[in-house]
Structure formats: structure tokens, C-alpha cells
Amino acid sequence: MKLLAIETSCDETAITVLEGTGDTTHADFRILGNALLSQIDIHREFGGVFPAVAKREHAKNIVPMLHASLSNAGLLREETRTLSESEIQTITEILSREPETAAALIAFLSQYAVPDIDVLAVTHGPGLEPALWVGVNFTRALAHAWQKPIVGVNHMEGHLLSALATPNPDDDRAFSLTNITLPVLGLLISGGHTELVLMESWLSYRLVGRTRDDAVGEAFDKAGRMLGLPYPGGPEISARAEKSRAEGRTELPVLPRPMLHDDSCDFSFSGLKTAVRYRIPDLVGDNEMTEEVREILSHAFEDAAGDVLLAKTLRALEATNAQSVALGGGVSANNHIRTIFAQKLAETHPHINLFLPEFRFCTDNAIMIGIAGFFHALQEKYIPAAELRANGNLRLTEHS
Ligand code: KG4
Ligand code: ZN
């Protein structure tokens, strides 16, 4: 099965052509074509992602990404086509909120033959709704023009399922999903989410725990901003914490580990973020922020955040019959968090299989949307184009 997967939930416009074979016991994937454009440099000026700017950039870049991805896959074949009046009208209507995308898509469709694609997979939530709508409307227009079925993918599901991929050491375009023992406990950690979900059967999820306030990635980003670091704060904090750890710094301010001893599998990160704010004057006094203070607080913050994530995951393991643990989302790129999970689980739960996503699957991408889309298509969970909607608050645990 060849999927064209589209991701526009936040600040990356990404389109991948992914080929999948097999089923849930063993699936092989091959990335045929991949194109991704990050808007991060644009948003950095604002210190965060601005929905209207994200939408504008997606609308501008989505047809070029389609071209790049299909061309990379060798699926772009020039063939002049004259679109009928009604075809042009339907595409214009579907993309009425993105007129520039409609014009670019009509020009594209007039120039290239229908590619050898079986299914369109698109992120329909959660994320920034204006940004999501660009991908959703674009997919609806493509489905109409090419007469292809659509599967809708939850962005967090993409993060979770891509974490389960086993890379092929000889070929970076190939990977498999195999030897996965259910239930899988997923720790989904990103800029908008911090939740523990249990995948008891394929594509069916139960919520085990979640943050009661900030997401952990959001806490990293806000702490980064307090330390005068550029957006996104996660990688900036991580780099400084690593440096401090490598230097063997042990004298660290003790930051709180919120809800560590509470019985639930829920999290809270806003107190940790606030504690960083209160520590800054103690360390800086009347002087300017120094790189040393940044390193100390990054180190203390990352230790505290990692401890809470690990402790709650261990608690969730006790509370469920999970056989595997998978980390997914932007924060799962964090080296310290990956290391403490690998060490602790090997020590205390050697029978549990820990899946850490490849770095390319940690940040937003369309490959993961293709992976999840493949399993949706296997179950024939197609969504009629007219019913497909973007939902900024789409929940993983509501759909099964
Ligand atoms: O999944 P993602 O790319 O976008 C969302 O769906 O939110 O996650 C982005 C989040 C940001 O908060 C970013 O600071 C964080 O992931 N992040 C990290 C690291 N790399 C990205 N946090 C900690 N350590 C990292 N190395
Ligand atoms: Zn994400």
C-alpha cells in the first residue's frame, strides 16, 4: 500500500510517500519520498508558534512540499490535463479559505498525472486548528481530484506508533514494526501533551494519566524563556544540562518534583516551571543572567522533569498489565530522559520492551502520519472527504 501522508498540525509542513506491507504482527515500511519544511526560524522571532503565521506558511508551502515529495519518490509524471469547470469549482470551494493553495494546486493538477498512490493520510488533530485546516482541506481537494480514499490520523498516535519502529541498519529509508507485545504503555510528551496511554489492542487507547496543567514540553519552553534562551527551549535546556552533567556538577538547587508521591498517574509541571523563576534571583542577584546560571538551572530542571516522568511511568506499569513502554513526541528526543528510562527499566523491569523513537520521529514529521495511516487503512477506517474536519483538541482516547 502506498500512502501520501500530510502533516500541518504545528510549525512543520511535511509530506511523505510511504509504502507499507504486512499487518500488525509484522509490517515493513519504506519511505519513497519525503519533504519537510520547518517554520521554526519564522516563529522564533515571536518566541513561540503563532497560529495565523503557521497557517499562512502551510498554505504557501504545501503544494511545493507535494511536488518535492512525489518527485523524491519518482512518482511525478508530467502530463498536461485540462481540468473541467466543475473540478476547478469544487477544488476552489474546498480551499476557499486558502485561495493561494487552490490556485497552486489547480496549476499542479493541470501539469502532472495522477500518481500511483492508494491512500491519503492526514493529521486531523490535535494541534493548532488554523494550521490543521490547511492540511485537511488540501487533502480533501486532492482526494476529490485524484479519487483516493482518506484516513484521518491523530498526531499523538503518529508519535506513539512511530516510536515502535525498528530501524533497518543498512537502509535509512526502511524500517519495520515487529515483535510488539501489547499492551503498550505510551508516554506522550510534547509541547501540547503529557499523557500516559495504554494501547490494549491496535489503534485502541485508554487514558492512564495526564498533566493537570502544563505539558512537559511547554514547561521546558517556558523555563527556556525565563533563562533568556531562544524558542523552543527544550533542546537549549537539554544542551546546557548535558554540559553541566559532563562537567560533573553536583551542587544543584533542589527543584520540586510535583505530584511525585501522589497515587495517581497524573502529572503537574507548572510548579516546577515557577520554581525556576523563583530560583533565578537567588542565583543572579543584581547581575545579568550568566551561562553558568543557565547551565545550573537547566541541569536541575531536566533532572526534576525526568524524575517525575520516570516515576509516573513506573507507577503506570504497576497499575496496568503493560508489556511494552514507548516514548513519543518532541520531548522524547531528550537524551537524559531516554537514558534514565533505559537504565531504570533494564534494572527494574527487564521483561518490558522499551521503545525509544529514532530522533527523526521525535520532532514533527509526516512519516509517522503515514505509519498510523497504514494501520487505519488496514482496518478500512476511511473518512468521507465531506466529513473530514480539523479538531485542535482531538483526543486519542476517544476514538478506537
Ligand atoms: O512533538 P513536537 O515537535 O510538537 C508538538 O506536537 O508539540 O514537540 C515539541 C516540543 C517542544 O516543547 C520542544 O521544546 C520539545 O518538544 N523538545 C525537547 C527536546 N527537543 C524538543 N524537550 C526537551 N529536550 C529536547 N531535546
Ligand atoms: Zn508533535
Work out the angle between the directed axes of helices 51-72 and 99-111 (0-180°, nearest 10): 10
**3 state SS for the chain:** CEEEEEECCCCEEEEEEEEEEECCCEEEEEEEEEEEEECHHHHHCCCCCCHHHHHHHHHHHHHHHHHHHHHHCCCCCECCCCCCHHHHHHHHHHCCCCHHHHHHHHHHHHHECCCCCCEEEEEEECCCHHHHHHHHHHHHHHHHHHCCCEEEEEHHHHHHHHHCCEECCCCCCEEEEECCCCCEEEEEECCCCEEEEEEEECCEEEEEEEECCCCHHHHHHHHHHHCCCCCCHHHHHHHHHHHHHHCCCCCCCCCCCCCCCCCCCCECCHHHHHHHHHHHHHHHCCCCCCHHHHHHHHHHHHHHHHHHHHHHHHHHHHHCCCCEEEEECHHHHCHHHHHHHHHHHHHHCCCCEEECCCHHHHCCCCHHHHHHHHHHHHCCCCCCHHHCCCCCCCCCCCCC
| Nearest alpha-carbon partner for 28 in 332, 370, 327, 364 | 370
Environment class of 94 (CB within 10 Å of its CB; exposed 0-12, middle 13-18, buried 19+): buried
- Cell 476529490: give the residue: 144
How far apart (Å, rounded) are the C-alpha atoms in residues 17 and 198? Answer: 29
Q: Which three cell numbers stand for residue 246?
A: 559532563
Ligand 1 contact via 125 beta carbon (within 6 Å): no
Residue nearest atom 26 in ligand 1 by C-alpha distance? 334
Q: Count CA within 13 A, CB hemisphere, residue 313.
A: 31
Ligand 1 contact via 363 beta carbon (within 6 Å): yes
Q: How many angstroms does the Cα of residue 319 sit away from the middle of ligand 1?
A: 27
How far apart (Å, rounded) are the C-alpha atoms in residues 277 and 84? Answer: 61
Q: How many angstroms does the Cα of residue 137 sit away from the middle of ligand 2?
A: 20
Q: Which three cell numbers stand for residue 192?
A: 501540547
Contact by Cβ (8 Å): 376, 122: no
| Nearest alpha-carbon partner for 299 in 244, 217, 222 | 244
Q: How many angstroms does the Cα of residue 339 sit away from the middle of ligand 2?
A: 21
Q: Which three cell numbers stand for residue 334?
A: 531528550
Among the bound ligands, the one closest to the CA of 54: 1
Ligand 1 contact via 224 beta carbon (within 6 Å): no
Q: Which three cell numbers stand for residue 281?
A: 534571583
C-alpha dihedral (176, 177, 179, 183), degrees to nearest 10: 170
Ligand 1 contact via 220 beta carbon (within 6 Å): yes
Substitution candidate for ligand 1 out of 331, 362, 369 with most atoms within 8 A of CB: 331
How far apart (Å, rounded) are the C-alpha atoms in residues 286 and 278? Answer: 14
What pLDDT does 399 receive?
A: 41
Ligand 1 contact via 333 beta carbon (within 6 Å): yes
Q: Which three cell numbers stand for residue 170?
A: 543498512
Among the bound ligands, the one closest to the CA of 366: 2
| Nearest alpha-carbon partner for 176 in 378, 346, 18, 322 | 18
Per-residue pLDDT of the chain in tens (400 residues, 90 and over written 9)? 999 999 999 999 999 999 999 999 999 999 999 999 999 889 888 888 889 999 999 999 999 999 999 999 999 999 999 999 999 999 999 999 999 999 999 999 999 999 999 999 999 999 999 999 999 999 999 999 999 999 999 999 999 999 999 999 999 999 999 999 999 999 999 999 999 999 999 999 999 999 999 999 999 999 999 999 999 999 999 999 999 999 999 999 999 999 999 999 999 999 999 999 999 999 998 899 999 999 999 999 999 999 999 999 999 999 999 999 999 999 999 999 999 999 999 999 999 999 999 999 999 999 999 999 999 999 999 999 999 999 999 999 854 3
Residue 8 CA to its chain's centroid (Å): 10
What pLDDT does 22 receive?
A: 98
Q: How many angstroms does the Cα of residue 61 sit away from the middle of ligand 2?
A: 19
Side chain identity, residue 213: D
Q: How many angstroms does the Cα of residue 189 sit away from the middle of ligand 2?
A: 8
Contact by Cβ (8 Å): 163, 357: yes
Contact by Cβ (8 Å): 352, 325: yes
Residue nearest atom 23 in ligand 1 by C-alpha distance? 234
Ligand 1 contact via 7 beta carbon (within 6 Å): no
How far apart (Å, rounded) are the C-alpha atoms in residues 184 and 204? Answer: 11
Q: How many angstroms does the Cα of residue 96 sit away from the middle of ligand 2?
A: 27
Environment class of 310 (CB within 10 Å of its CB; exposed 0-12, middle 13-18, buried 19+): middle
What pLDDT does 45 receive?
A: 84
Straight-line distance from the first to the last Cα atom of the chain, in angstroms, rounded to the nearest whole number: 22
Q: How many angstroms does the Cα of residue 190 sit away from the middle of ligand 2?
A: 6
Ligand 1 contact via 365 beta carbon (within 6 Å): no
Work out the angle between the directed axes of helices 233-246 and 216-226 (0-180°, nearest 10): 80
| Nearest alpha-carbon partner for 33 in 66, 79, 81, 82 | 66
Ligand 1 contact via 10 beta carbon (within 6 Å): yes
Substitution candidate for ligand 1 out of 160, 190, 195 with most atoms within 8 A of CB: 190
Residue nearest atom 16 in ligand 1 by C-alpha distance? 330
